[in-house]
């Protein structure tokens, strides 16, 4: 299989007609005659930019001839340039071959810190160019072979073998697509290699995902090592499925489980499927709609026992006799707040059998010391004595996996080791018997990419880019001045002037540096109240951009710019964000984000401000949106912002949503029993005006933020019903900006008017 990994030659004489130039070009020609591409340049240029070529090069050949080395090596500019370039390459890549060549100089003339990074020293004209070329190519080929992780290597070998396929999938390596015009389009779009690699699990040399053997098993063991775990299981249908595997292995009907109320709906589905009885830990929340952490006090055994005692589904049970089967915590929250996992392990080890950290949004944290103990599994941390630790991670969210690439990581306790055969029974329950091998390969490759030093450098770059974006946004704000408006980026008030700074700057606390509430009670930038020292931090690569119109107290300004209008504007300008709230939207600086991307976002925000200030007509700036919603065509951008802003203020929606999510919720039935009413058809569709006091049979989940308000078996309260009424009125007044609420049933009458219902447990007549 042909890959493009050229050998890069850096020599100031590469295009010269002198002896040195003739010699290096002869070597380049010899390399090319062996089938390898050569890229020749005459200077290092921007070291940091040029060293990015380490991901594309199979080897480097660097000149250090007589004219370039003068005087003591440590003082020589040529040696200093050589050292700087090699250090920049090695910061990301410890393996790529680097050769130095000269006419008369030897290793005696180079410092040892340079020599130990080299694969060889070439003396021009001592051997034939052909001999030197074969030597370099041998090392280059060995390097390219060595960087391939186990499963990806086996898949490449299989695809290159050219075997005829008599098994599924039915397109037989893409051949079926070639038989129709639309199939031809599909084949040309996705390409030969992807389709050849889409194979059946009957291919013996690739191993079995369902049995974790062969090349797949080897890759899972390699990933476990890289991610500091004892076990790793690749999952091809996302972390929603990874979570359900963990739960079906650890939880049985009637078990008491401790769950973050700010959890992904897959955890709530797991509660329904396993028949568990949940007690919820309640997170904080500010009036921006940003979800904060669960206070440390909620994790004490006494606090959990008090919740068990207060749960109507556990009346008559001695809370001190209950041992929760699992704790599941969202790490990080959707807005980037992290927990010190070592603190939690210390508090719950032995009381909760299984500690599950849903790290769908945090797989990068294990690869940079910046994150310290704010992720599930560290390389040099003591393991819990009794509790087994699980981490489920979406490799496709922040690392280089393709969509649905996920894995389950497991860390044995000192006394309890995972029984892999028993775990695999739960694994088989949720895994397709026809897994997509491209997803498996991306799990394999994404793990290999994070092997230090490359993974460390990638994470450091994402942090650095995120901080540069924050600095740039503050610079723009300062230039506009206090009399003008600009967007704010939620986060600490003080940033390092350059680089990634220190993690302690991102710890959540009061304004007092010691984490003690000041005398005036002033809250810190986050608005979550008093924080336990060292328990939570904000991940700097998660950036929430706050729009004007609402303050931290939930008070509306006279004018405002709802975030949904900003993000619609950005989408029509080719910038798609992760999540949109009332007056904030969320972006992530993954390892794939570049300076070009975030600078484009900043310039698009500048354009929005300009169009807003001039009240540009909507038909001009959002033409596609106005084609769908003609009522906005004659409005200006500022007019529309003000119209939506006044709707929000009229219903005091910021406080309503905060109070709704923080309100006490009453469980009337076990989630699994309430959900089973659907199968028994023991449900009735209730109009939202009549919902208060009724028991839901489904998750009620507004998007954004995608956090369920209710789970099956819980009772609609007044705050939730008021919010649903607001959503109905808002959808009528502002079509195109309505909130999608999963669990609501919308029925349209003959007059076109929509009526909203929710499915509830049927009441006895």
Given a cut of 70, whether residue 521 has pLDDT beyond it is no
Q: How far apart are the first and last CA of the chain?
A: 71
Position 523 pLDDT exceeds 80: no
**pLDDT greater at residue 106 or residue 88:** 88
Residue 561's SS3 state is coil
Least confident span in 162-166, 274-278, 332-336: 162-166
pLDDT band for position 604 (cuts 50, 70, 90):
very high
Give the pLDDT confidence score for residue 79 in this predicted structure.
82
What are the phi and psi torsion angles at 438 (to 5°)?
-65, -35
What is the three-class DSSP state of 10? strand
- pLDDT at residue 162 in the model: 60
Q: Residue 418's pLDDT band (boundaries 50, 70, 90)?
A: very high
pLDDT of residue 515: 47
User: What residue spans define the domains of the chain?
Assistant: 7-146, 230-434, 456-650, 663-761
Confidence of residue 266 (pLDDT cuts 50, 70, 90): very high
Q: Contact at 8 Å (CB) between 550 and 582? A: yes
Q: Which residue has the higher pLDDT, 148 or 123?
A: 148
pLDDT-derived band at 596 (thresholds 50, 70, 90) equals confident
Q: What is the pLDDT of residue 1?
A: 53
Beta bridge partners of 227: none
Contact 261, 227 (CB under 8 A): no
Closest by CA to 617, choosing from 641, 628, 633, is 633
Render the burial of 456-474: b for 16+ CB within 10 Å, e for the rest. bbbbbbbbbbbbbbbebbe
Alpha-helical segments (H) within 371-453: 395-398, 420-430, 437-449
> Looking at the predicted structure, is the pLDDT value of residue 577 above 90?
no
Alpha-carbon dihedral sign for residues 573, 577, 580, 583: negative
Average pLDDT of the segment spanning 146-160: 89
Q: How far apart are CA 647 and CA 635, in angstroms?
A: 16
pLDDT at 20: 81
In this prediction, residue 51 carries a pLDDT of: 64
Structure tokens at 238: 């996302």
Give backbone dihedrals phi and psi of 322, rounded to 5 degrees, phi first. Answer: -90, 130
Amino acid 338: pLDDT = 97
Domain 230-434 has CATH 3.20.20.140: no
Report pLDDT for 325: 97
User: For residue 738, is pLDDT > 80?
Assistant: yes
Q: In what order do the strands lie in the sheet with 7-10?
A: 38-41, 7-10, 59-63, 98-102, 120-123
Q: Looking at residue 752, what DSSP letter applies?
A: S
Report the pLDDT value the prediction gives residue 507, as an integer from 0 to 100. 92
Give residue 202's pLDDT band: very low, low, confident or very high (50, 70, 90): low
8 A C-beta contact, residue 341 and residue 373: yes
Query: How do strand 683-687 and strand 701-703 relate by DSSP bridges?
Result: unpaired
For the chain, give percent helix, strand, coil, nearest 5. Answer: 45, 15, 40
Furthest C-alpha separation in the chain: 101
With contact defined as beta carbons under 8 Å apart, do 65 and 15 qualify? Answer: no
pLDDT at 410: 98
Q: What is the pLDDT at residue 60?
A: 94
Mean per-residue pLDDT for 286-303?
A: 92
Under the banding of pLDDT at 50, 70 and 90, the label for residue 150 is very high
What CA–CA distance (Å, rounded) separates 585 from 593? 17
- Please report the pLDDT score of residue 559 as a whole number: 97
Contact 330, 260 (CB under 8 A): yes
- Residues 33-46 have pLDDT tens digits of 999 999 988 887 76
Q: Would you state the pLDDT for residue 105? A: 63
CA distance 272 to 277: 9
Please provide the average confidence, as pLDDT, over all residues in the chain: 90
- Relative to beta strand 7-10, strand 38-41 is parallel
- pTM to 2 decimal places: 0.92
Least trusted range by pLDDT, from 57-61, 266-270, 593-597: 593-597
CA distance 145 to 149: 9
Q: Are 740 and 703 in contact (CB under 8 A)?
A: yes
CA distances from 699 to 223, 366, 693, 696, 707 (A): 35, 33, 16, 8, 10
Identify whether the C-beta of residue 654 lies closer than 8 Å to the C-beta of residue 554: yes
H/E element, 692: none
**Overall average pLDDT of the 330-345 stretch:** 95
Helices (H), 481-629: 563-572, 595-613, 618-621, 623-628
Beta bridge partners of 584: 546
Nearest-angstrom CA–CA distance, 15 and 207: 50
Cβ neighbours of residue 721 closer than 8 Å, sequence gap 6 or more: 688, 689, 691, 692
pLDDT digits (tens, 9 = 90+) for 349-399: 999 999 999 999 999 999 999 999 999 999 889 999 999 999 999 999 999
Q: Quote the CA–CA distance of 588 and 66 in Å, as a whole number.
A: 49
pLDDT, position 518: 55
Is CATH 3.30.1330.10 correct for 7-146? no
- Give Cα 387 distance to the centre of its chain: 26
Neighbours of 425 (CB within 10 A): 12
Across the range 726-746, mean pLDDT stands at 90
Beta bridge partners of 742: 701
Q: What tokens appear for 357 in the block?
A: 């950290």
> DSSP string of 284-323?
-B-TTS-B-PPPGGGGSHHHHHHHHHH-GGGTT--GGG--
pLDDT exceeds cutoff 50 at 406: yes
**In this model, does residue 512 exceed pLDDT 70?**
no
Q: Say whether pLDDT at 100 is over 80.
A: yes
* pLDDT, position 295: 94
Quick one: pLDDT band at residue 205, thresholds 50, 70, 90?
Answer: confident
What does the alpha-carbon distance between residue 470 and residue 465 come to, in Å, rounded to a whole number?
9
* CATH for the stretch 663-761: 3.90.100.10
What confidence tens digit (pLDDT) does each residue in 476-497 have?
999 999 999 999 999 998 899 9
Residue with tokens 């890289």: 226
Alpha helices for 651-717 (secondary structure H) = 653-662, 671-679
- Tell me the C-alpha distance between 250 and 271, whole Å: 11
Q: What integer is the mean pLDDT of 22-33?
A: 92
Amino acid 510: pLDDT: 66
High-pLDDT (> 90) share of the chain, %: 65
The 542-546 sheet, strands edge to edge: 488-489, 542-546, 584-588, 579-580
Average pLDDT over residues 741-759: 88
DSSP state of 332: S
The three-class DSSP label of residue 694 is: coil
Kindly state the average pLDDT of the residues 537-562.
94
Q: Report helix, strand or coil for 420.
A: helix
What is the CATH T-level fold of the domain 456-650, as seen in this structure?
Answer: 3.90.1150
The pLDDT value given to residue 594: 80
Residue 283 pLDDT greater than 90, yes or no = yes
Q: Which residue has the higher pLDDT, 621 or 55?
A: 621
**What is the 8-class DSSP label of residue 472?**
H
Residue 514: predicted pLDDT = 52
Preceding omega of 332 cis (within 30 degrees of 0): yes
- Cis omega (within 30 of 0) on the bond before 606? no
Residue 524, token pair as written in the block: 């810190």
372 preceded by cis ω (within 30°)?
A: no
């Amino acid at each position: 299989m042909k890959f493009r990994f050229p050998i890069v030659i850096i020599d100031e004489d590469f295009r010269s007609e002198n002896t040195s130039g003739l010699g290096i070009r002869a070597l380049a020609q010899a390399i090319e005659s062996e089938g390898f591409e050569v890229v020749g340049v005459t200077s290092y240029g921007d070291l940091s930019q040029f060293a990015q070529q380490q991901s594309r090069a199979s080897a480097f050949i660097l000149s250090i001839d007589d004219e370039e080395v003068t005087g003591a090596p440590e003082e020589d500019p040529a040696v200093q340039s050589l050292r700087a370039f090699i250090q920049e390459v090695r910061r990301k890549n410890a393996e790529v071959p680097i050769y130095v060549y000269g006419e008369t100089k030897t290793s005696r003339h180079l410092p040892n810190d340079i020599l130990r990074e080299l694969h060889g020293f070439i003396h021009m004209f001592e051997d034939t160019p052909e001999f030197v070329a074969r030597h370099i190519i041998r090392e280059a080929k060995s390097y390219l072979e060595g960087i391939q992780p186990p499963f990806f290597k086996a898949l490449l070998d299989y695809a290159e073998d050219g075997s005829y396929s008599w098994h599924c999938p039915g397109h037989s390596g893409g051949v079926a697509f070639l038989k129709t015009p639309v199939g031809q389009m599909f084949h040309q779009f996705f390409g030969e290699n992807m389709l050849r690699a889409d194979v059946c699990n009957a291919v013996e040399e690739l191993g079995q995902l369902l049995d974790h053997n062969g090349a797949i098993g080897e890759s899972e063991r390699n990933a476990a090592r890289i991610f500091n775990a004892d076990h790793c299981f690749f999952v091809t249908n996302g972390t929603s499925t990874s979570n359900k595997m963990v739960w079906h292995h650890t939880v049985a009907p009637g078990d008491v489980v401790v769950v973050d109320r700010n959890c992904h709906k897959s955890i709530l589905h797991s509660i329904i499927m396993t028949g568990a009885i949940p007690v919820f830990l309640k997170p904080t929340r500010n009036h921006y709609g940003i979800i904060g952490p669960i206070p440390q006090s909620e994790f004490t055994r006494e606090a959990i026992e008090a919740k068990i005692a207060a749960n109507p589904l556990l009346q008559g049970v001695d809370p001190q006799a209950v041992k929760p089967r699992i704790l599941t915590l969202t790490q990080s929250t959707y807005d980037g707040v992290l927990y010190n996992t070592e603190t939690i392990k210390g508090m719950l080890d032995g009381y909760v059998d299984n500690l599950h950290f849903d790290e769908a949004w945090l797989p990068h944290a294990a690869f940079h010391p910046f994150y310290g103990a704010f992720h599930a599994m560290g390389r040099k941390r003591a393991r819990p004595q009794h509790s087994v630790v699980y981490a489920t991670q979406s490799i496709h969210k922040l690392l280089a996996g393709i969509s649905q690439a996920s894995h389950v990581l497991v860390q044995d306790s000192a006394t309890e080791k995972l029984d892999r055969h028993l775990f695999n029974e739960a694994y088989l329950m949720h895994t397709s018997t026809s897994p997509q091998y491209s997803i498996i390969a991306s799990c394999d490759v994404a793990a290999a990419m994070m092997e230090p030093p490359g993974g460390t450098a990638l994470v450091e770059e994402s942090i650095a880019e995120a901080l540069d974006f924050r600095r740039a946004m503050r610079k723009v704000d300062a230039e506009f001045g206090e009399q003008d408006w600009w967007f704010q980026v939620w986060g600490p008030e003080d940033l390092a002037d350059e680089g990634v700074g220190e993690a302690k700057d991102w710890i959540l606390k009061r304004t007092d540096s010691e984490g003690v509430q000041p005398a005036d009670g002033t809250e810190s930038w986050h608005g979550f109240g008093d924080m336990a020292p060292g328990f939570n931090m904000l991940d700097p690569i998660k950036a929430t951009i706050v729009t004007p119109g609402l303050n931290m107290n939930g008070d509306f300004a006279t004018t405002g710019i709802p975030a949904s209008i900003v993000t619609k504007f950005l989408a029509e300008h080719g910038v798609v964000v992760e999540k949109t709230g009332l007056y904030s939207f969320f972006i992530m600086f993954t390892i794939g984000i570049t300076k070009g991307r975030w600078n484009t976002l900043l310039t698009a925000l500048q354009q929005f401000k300009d169009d807003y200030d001039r009240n540009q007509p909507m038909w001009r700036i959002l033409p596609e949106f106005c084609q769908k919603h003609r009522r906005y065509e004659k409005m200006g951008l500022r007019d529309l912002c003000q119209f939506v802003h006044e709707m929000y203020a009229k219903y005091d929606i910021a406080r309503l949503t905060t109070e709704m999510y923080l309100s006490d919720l009453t469980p009337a039935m076990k989630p699994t029993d309430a959900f089973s009413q659907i199968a028994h058809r023991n449900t009735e569709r209730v109009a939202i005006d009549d919902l208060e006091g009724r028991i839901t049979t489904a998750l009620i989940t507004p998007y954004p933020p995608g956090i369920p308000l209710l789970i099956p078996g819980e009772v609609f309260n007044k705050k939730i019903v008021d919010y649903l009424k607001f959503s109905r009125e808002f959808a009528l007044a502002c079509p195109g900006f309505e909130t999608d609420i999963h669990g609501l049933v919308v029925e349209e009458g003959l007059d076109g008017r929509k009526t909203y219902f929710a499915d509830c447990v049927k009441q006895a007549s």
